[in-house]
Each structure stands twice: as structure tokens, then as C-alpha cells.
Structure 1
Amino acid sequence: MASISSFEGGNEERENSQQLLLDLGGFEGPIDVLLELAKQQKVDLIQISILELADQYLLWVRKLSLANVELAADYLVMAAWLAFMKSRLLLPETDGEEEPTGEEMASALRFQLKRLEKIRSLGFSLFDRFQLGQDFFFRGDPEDFGYLNNTTYDIELNDLILAYGEYSERRDIQVLRIQPSDLYSTQDAIGWFSRALVGNSSGWENFHGFLPTDKRSGIIGKSMLASAMTAMLQLTKDGKIDIQQRQNFSDIYIRPSDTK
């Protein structure tokens, strides 16, 4: 099994002021020693207060400099494993559930420690190799390398047809533009009557006298006549004008409602 010194990544020279020293009643010393003893079942974890361990760890972290964050992470892993191992001891055993035994947990811990040791060992070995800018350097005149890209298209005729169809649809998109209409509206006709009847006290006036003088033929002229008829009926309904027609198909006469 990997020793605690190897787990610490070869940092035996770490000062005592940087180590996490615990005082938990049943144990007094570094946390890595406590973990080693617990792993070998040489200390009773039942007597160890995990709450006190957490409080002492947090107090130690507050005093630790930012340069030792890696050390704090290692100690946090150790404290977590101690808390997990004690929780397994406190929990009652249940039948019918396959859960790891104490020996299995110890084996898992040893595996994690060896794995962490290997990772950190490889990390340190990288810094032992020659480094760019320190042991070797770039040449003064950098070399420019050209790149040759050869594109090979793997498509079929159907793919080409579909792609061309999608491109044609995007290219031939037409925007619908509605031109303003020259047809007369009912609001236009109401304006004709309103302007012509203002101050008019002469009595009945012929309906056609209210229409614009620039009468047009075709559909424009028909829209003018239809809008005038609709406006006349609306103004009559609102009580603003009176209308009369002596007989069918004869001329229609209009006057303001207040004309007596």
C-alpha cells in the first residue's frame, strides 16, 4: 500500500505550520496519520468527533495562504473519507442490500490514494522534462508552413437536386407589396357631406351636388357613388341629415337636420 509520504507527493519538507494538526480527544496529530491509522483499524473512529474535525479543518483553511490550496484539497479528501468511514460504522446493517464492508471500503480508499499518488507523480514528472522557453527555444526566424486542403464531396444526384431546389426557393422569394387603392371610402364621403352642410341653411340640396366635381368613370366612379350612399345613410341614422325622395328612382335631396 502506498505510504502517506508518497501520497503527499514528495512534500516531506512541508513546514509543521502548514500541516493540519488535529486535537479530537481520542487522537492528537496530523490528519494524514489519523487516516492511516483508521485505514489500518488502529484507531476507534466512533470516538472521533467529525463535527470537531470539520471545525478544525475550516479554522486551518482560514489561516492558510492561497499558495497552499492544493494542500487544502488533499486534506479535504482525507477528511471526507474519514467522515464516510465513520458514517458506515454508525449506520445499522440492513439485510438484503449489497453494501460495501469495512474491508471493501478500506480497499477502495487504498485504490484512490494510489490513483492520486500516480496522477501527482506524473504531474511532477512533466516538470522534470525539457520545457519550451527554459531548456529549449524557438528559432529566431519562424518557419512558415503552407497547408494544402483537398475537399472531397460524397453526395448523390438527389442531394444536388434538393440543394438546388432550396437555393432556388430562397432566391425567388417575392415580397407581397399592396399598392394603395384609389377607391373612395365611406369616411371620404362623410367628409364631403360634412364640409358641404356646414353653414348651409338653404334647405334641400340634390344628392349629386355633394359629390366631387372630378367624377371618374369605371370602378373609381362606382366606388364614389357607393361610398356616398353609405355615408348618407349613416348620417341619417346618426340624426345629422334628413333625406327625401318623391318617388322611386327619382333624385334624392338632403338637408341638415336642424333646418326647419
Structure 2
Amino acid sequence: MDDDAPQLALPIPDDALTIAIDGWEGPLDLLLTLARTQKVDLRQLSILALVEQYLAFIAQARALKLEVAADYLVMAAWLAFLKSALLLPRDPEVEPSPEELALRLQLRLQRLDAMREAGARLMARDRIGRDVFLRGRPEGLRVVRTPDWQASLYDLIAAYGAVKARGVPAIHIVSRRRVMSLEEALALVARMVGSRLDWAALASFLPDGLEEDHRRSAVASSFVAALELARQGRIELAQEGAFAPLMVRRA
């Protein structure tokens, strides 16, 4: 056997024999270790040499009166059958063929080798708390808010109204009301002056019972009519002081 093959432990004082198989889980692991001793790719593995190494190991273990597990003995029997099938002429009625059985064994050994390598790479990665450490919790930042503007609710509503008004067209609706036209005022003042000889207040020329809006319009129109008649020389105007009643008489 090769030096890389599993080594048997020495007898302990109570005459019990033990075998040290570090990390092995069954006969396939033993086959994989023996296959690696051939120093070739698993796809180019010599099945006959592997069978001979395995059977030699089992024979040595049984010679030392070691209680070999049943799985190892079953694998040894199957490998002995595979070795005889590979050496003897092939029986066409036997399925599967010995070459197919040998190929299946190679594929299982390749799969086991890939699994063991993946497990080794996984266990070799850095571990948190041993090789790498988590980042510490960052300290909080104190936020200082300094207001640049101070506005009341009224200021906010007024600003919103100003912005809203710029986007809405202004519509002015003038309510209809009764007014006295300039022609009506001229006729009224001329008629009233013609019927009076002495000075009279312009306000006395207005009709009675006028509403407030209509009265203001009549006062304005009568004043303009009086100025027009004075310009024509038909009446005279007099006023004793500021805000005093405007007096009118026929010229």
C-alpha cells in the first residue's frame, strides 16, 4: 500500500484494536483517499489498482482482528465482484456492464471529491468574530435647526392667495344700478332755475324719494350740469366757503 493510505493505530493496554479515520464517513471516503494516492486525475483512475488497494486494506484490518463495519465489508465484496468482472470476459446478458459500473464508481468519487473541496473552501472562509469583525454602531449626529423665516398662519394664507391670484384671471362684474345721466341733470337744473328767481341750493333741485346710490349719482350729475350752464352764462354760482352749499340762480 501507499504511504498516504490510512494508518492503523497501535494496540492500547486493554488489547482492543482501534482505527483512526479522521474525517471519514464511509467506504467511499476510503476509496477517495486511496484514489488520490495514484496521483492521477479521477477521470483517468485505474479501477483495478483502486480495488486492490481497498481489498488489501480490508484484509490487513481483518488480520489485526479489527471489527470492520458492515458497510466496509459490503463495499469490499462489491469491489471484488467488480474486479473479477473486469478481468473475465464480458457476459452480454449481464446488465449493467462492468465498464458501466466502473464509470459509475468514478463519477461518485468525483462528486464526493468536489463536495469535500467545496466544504473545505467554505470552512476556510473568514468568520465573523474571529477573522473579521462587524462595524461598530456609528455615533448619532445632533441636528441643529435654525429657522431662516418666521411666518404666522395669516402670512402663509396671504402668500398662498397672492400666488393663486397671479395664475387666475381677474374678472370684474359691475352691478347694474340706477344713475342720472348728464342730459337729465341739464334739463332738471335748467327747468328748476327757470322757475326760481332767488338763490337756491343745488341740492334742493334733486327729486325727493331717491335711493342712496341714485341720489349720489344725481348730485354728481347735477354739479356737472351746473358747471356747464354757468359756462354758457345761463346761471350764476355762489359758495360762501369750503364745503358750504352750492347756491344757484338764473343769470
TM-score normalised per structure 2? 0.28
**Greater RCO, 1 or 2 (C-alpha within 8 Å, sep 6+):** 1
TM-score normalised per structure 1? 0.28
- Greater Cα radius of gyration, structure 1 or 2: 2
